[in-house]
Amino acid sequence: MPKLRIKKSDNVVVLSGKDKGKRAKVLEVNPEKETVLVEGVNVMKKHTKPRPPKVPQGGILEKAMPIHASNVMLVCPHCDKPVRIKTRETGEERDRVCRKCKEII
């Protein structure tokens, strides 16, 4: 299972697809499928029937779908730019470090 460098609640920018250029927050990460769920990106419409306990009123619901992790890039909170990251070991911990400003993310 590959390790993703993007974590939940990171800010990312979308690199490709219909939502290219959007900046948003990561809601969920799935390392097994190498996908991330980004807020307001790759939104699909789902038509639902009325089902009284869960969905009392049917209609068209909008649902965010996951996109591949290679299609997003982490935005550094310090320099506010999309960056590649590297890891630096400090003692027993590993920290994610911005390649542009050298700050810990």
Q: Give the model confidence (pLDDT) of 36-74 as tens digits.
A: 999 999 999 999 889 888 778 888 989 999 999 999 999
Residue with the two structure tokens 């310090």: 78
pLDDT > 90 fraction of the chain, expressed in percent and rounded? 56
Walk me through the domains of the chain, giving residue ranges and CATH numbers.
1-74 (2.30.30.30), 76-105 (no CATH)
What is the C-alpha separation between 17 and 71, in angstroms, rounded? Answer: 8
What is the C-alpha separation between 14 and 43, in angstroms, rounded? Answer: 13
Closest alpha carbon to 62 in 37, 32, 42, 82: 42
pTM metric for this prediction:
0.81
The SS3 assignment for 27 reads strand
Q: Tell me the CA distances in angstroms from 43 to 19, 51, 65, 77, one per residue in order.
A: 9, 23, 6, 25
Q: Under 8 Å CB-to-CB from 54, ≥6 apart: which residues?
A: none
